[in-house]
C-alpha cells in the first residue's frame, strides 16, 4: 500500500483534473455554486479518508461524483423534511429521476461540456467584482486551493477566502441562473470570461516579484482554461485569438528573464530560447480564428502582432509595417493610451522616429500615463534616434525616476551615460 502522503498527492492530482467537472455537474443538480462546491469538497474529504484503505478507484472522477451526488440528495431530503417546501419537493422528484438515469451512465461528454461552460460563465459573471471573478475562476475551474490563489496574487489567504465566500453568496442571492448566455448578452459575457483569463495570465506573466514558482503557474492555469474553452465553444474567433495570444506570449517566458532576474525587452531576447511548440500552437489557434472569420477583435489583433514577432528570426526581420497596421486596427476596436503608445513605437520602427514621436507627443497630457515610466522611456528613445540628445536625457531621467524596477532604472541611467559620452 502506498504511503499516506503519496495518496494525498494523487488525490490532489485527481482533484485538479476532476474538480471543475464535478462542481459543474453538481451545480446543475443543486442550482447553487456554493453548495455544489461544498458537496464536492465533502466528496474530496471522503476520498482522503477512504482511499488510503481501499486504494484509488479505477475511475476516481466518477467515484467523487457519485459520492457527492448521494450527499446532495441526502441534503435536499433533509431540507425538504425541515421546510416542506413544495418547490423543493418538485426538485427532489426531479433529482430522483436524474439520479435514476445517471446511475448506469454518468454524464455524457456533451453534458459535461455544457455544464463546464455554464460554470465558466457564472464564475466570470459581471455582477461580481473583477478580483472576485479571478479568484472564483481559479478556485472552481482551475482547481486551485485558496492558499495557492493567495500566494499567486500576493495577498493574505483570509482575503481570498472571504472574496470567494462573498462571491458565492452574491451569485446565490442574485439567483443567477446556471446557464450559458445566449442572444445579445452573450458577447459581453464572453468578453468578461476572456478578460478574466487574460488577467490571470498577465498576473503570472508580468510578475516581477513574489513567489517565483507560483506566478508562472498562473500563466499555465490561464492557458489550460483558455485551451479548454476553445474546445467548448469552437466557433468563437476571439477565444482562439486569446489562446493564440497566450500561447505566443508564453513561448517567451524563459527568454524574457535574464540570469539576474531582470526583464529582457522583446527585441533583445535570445530567440533561440523561444518555445517553438507554443509558437506553433499559437499560429494554429490564429488559423482557427481566421477560418471562422468575423470582425477582428482585440485578442486576435494582439495575437497577430505577437505572431509577427514570433515569425521574425532576427529582430531586424520584424515586419513593422504590418505591426503598425495591426495597431491601427487595435486602437480602433480597443482604444487606450497604452495601445496608442505601442502604436507609436511600431510606427517609429516602420516609418521613422519622427512619425512615432508625433503620436507620443499627443499622449504627454494623458492623465492615465502620468506616472507610466514607458512614456518618457519611449519618447527618450525616439528623441535619441532623432539626435535630440539633451531632450532624450531629460526623458530617460524622468523614466528612471518613475520605474519601480531596479534593473530597468540601471538600463535607463546607462543610456544617459552613453549619450553624455
Half-sphere exposure of 230 (CA within 13 A, CB side): 27
Least distance from C-beta 369 to another protein, angstroms?
Answer: 35
For residue 196, the minimal CB distance to another protein (Å) is: 15
Report the residue number, 130 or 254, with the smaller CB distance to another protein: 254
**The three grid cell numbers given for residue 321, joined into one nine-digit string:** 509595417
Of the pair 250, 301, the CB lying nearest another protein is at: 250
Gap between the Cα atoms of 353 and 386, Å rounded: 7
Output the nine-digit C-alpha cell for 165: 465566500
On whether the CB atoms of residues 263 and 208 are closer than 8 A, the answer is yes
Which residue ranges make up the site for another protein (CB under 8 A)? 9-10, 12-14, 16-17, 58, 60, 109, 113, 217, 220, 223-228, 231-232, 254, 272-277, 281
Cβ atoms of 354 and 388 within 8 Å: the answer is: no
Closer to another protein by CB, 17 or 364: give it: 17
User: Minimum distance from CB of 299 to another protein (Å)?
Assistant: 17
For the stretch 20-35, what's the b/e string if a residue is b when 16 or more beta carbons lie within 10 angstroms of its beta carbon? bbbbbbbbbbbebbbb
CB of 312 to another protein, least distance (A): 17
Closest CA to 202 of 178, 226, 185, 182: 226
Least separation in angstroms between CB 222 and another protein? 10
Shortest separation between residue 90's beta carbon and another protein, angstroms: 33
Nearest-approach distance from CB 275 to another protein, in angstroms: 5
Helices 146-153 and 130-140: angle between axes, nearest 10 degrees:
130
Report the residue number, 217 or 386, with the smaller CB distance to another protein. Answer: 217
Cβ distance to another protein smaller for residue 1 or 295? 1
Q: Could you give phi then psi for residue 213, rounded to 5 degrees?
A: -75, -40
Nearer to another protein, 60 or 297 (CB): 60
Based on CB atoms, which residue is closest to another protein, 176 or 217? 217
Report the C-alpha gap between 392 and 379 in whole angstroms: 7
Q: Is 154 left (phi over 0), alpha (psi -120 to 50) or beta?
A: left
Amino acid at each position: 500500500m502506498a504511503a499516506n502522503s503519496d495518496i494525498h498527492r494523487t488525490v490532489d492530482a485527481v482533484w485538479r483534473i476532476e474538480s471543475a467537472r464535478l462542481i459543474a455537474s453538481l451545480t446543475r443538480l443543486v442550482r447553487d455554486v456554493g453548495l455544489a462546491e461544498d458537496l464536492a469538497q465533502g466528496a474530496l474529504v471522503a476520498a482522503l479518508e477512504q482511499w488510503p484503505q481501499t486504494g484509488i478507484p479505477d475511475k476516481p472522477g466518477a467515484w467523487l461524483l457519485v459520492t457527492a451526488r448521494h450527499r446532495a440528495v441526502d441534503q435536499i431530503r433533509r431540507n425538504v423534511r425541515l421546510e416542506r417546501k413544495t418547490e423543493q419537493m418538485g426538485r427532489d422528484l426531479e433529482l430522483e429521476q436524474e439520479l435514476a438515469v445517471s446511475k448506469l451512465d454518468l454524464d455524457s461528454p456533451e453534458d459535461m461540456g455544457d455544464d463546464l461552460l455554464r460554470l465558466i460563465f457564472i464564475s466570470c459573471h459581471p455582477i461580481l467584482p473583477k478580483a472576485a471573478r479571478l479568484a472564483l475562476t481559479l478556485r472552481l475551474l482551475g482547481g486551485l486551493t485558496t492558499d495557492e490563489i493567495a500566494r499567486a496574487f500576493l495577498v493574505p489567504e483570509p482575503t481570498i477566502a472571504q472574496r470567494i465566500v462573498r462571491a458565492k453568496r452574491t451569485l446565490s442571492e442574485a439567483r443567477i441562473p446556471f446557464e450559458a448566455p445566449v442572444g445579445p448578452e452573450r458577447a459581453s459575457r464572453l468578453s468578461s470570461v476572456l478578460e478574466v483569463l487574460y488577467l490571470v495570465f498577465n498576473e503570472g506573466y508580468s510578475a516581477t516579484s513574489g513567489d517565483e514558482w507560483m506566478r508562472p503557474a498562473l500563466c499555465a492555469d490561464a492557458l489550460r482554461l483558455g485551451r479548454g474553452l476553445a474546445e467548448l465553444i469552437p466557433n468563437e474567433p476571439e477565444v482562439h485569438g486569446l489562446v493564440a495570444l497566450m500561447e505566443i506570449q508564453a513561448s517567451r517566458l524563459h527568454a524574457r528573464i535574464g540570469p539576474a532576474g531582470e526583464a529582457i525587452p522583446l527585441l533583445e531576447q535570445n530567440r533561440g530560447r523561444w518555445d517553438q511548440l507554443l509558437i506553433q500552437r499559437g499560429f494554429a489557434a490564429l488559423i482557427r480564428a481566421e477560418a471562422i472569420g468575423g470582425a477582428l477583435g482585440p485578442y486576435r489583433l494582439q495575437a497577430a502582432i505577437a505572431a509577427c514577432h514570433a515569425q521574425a528570426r532576427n529582430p531586424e526581420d520584424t515586419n513593422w509595417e504590418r505591426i503598425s497596421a495591426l495597431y491601427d486596427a487595435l486602437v480602433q476596436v480597443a482604444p487606450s493610451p497604452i495601445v496608442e503608445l505601442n502604436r507609436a513605437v511600431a510606427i517609429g520602427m516602420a516609418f521613422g522616429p519622427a512619425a512615432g514621436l508625433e503620436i507620443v507627443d499627443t499622449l504627454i497630457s494623458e492623465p492615465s500615463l502620468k506616472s507610466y515610466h514607458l512614456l518618457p522611456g519611449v519618447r527618450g528613445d525616439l528623441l535619441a534616434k532623432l539626435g535630440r540628445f539633451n531632450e532624450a536625457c531629460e526623458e530617460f531621467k524622468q523614466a528612471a525616476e518613475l520605474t519601480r524596477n531596479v534593473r530597468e532604472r540601471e538600463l535607463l541611467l546607462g543610456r544617459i551615460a552613453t549619450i553624455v559620452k
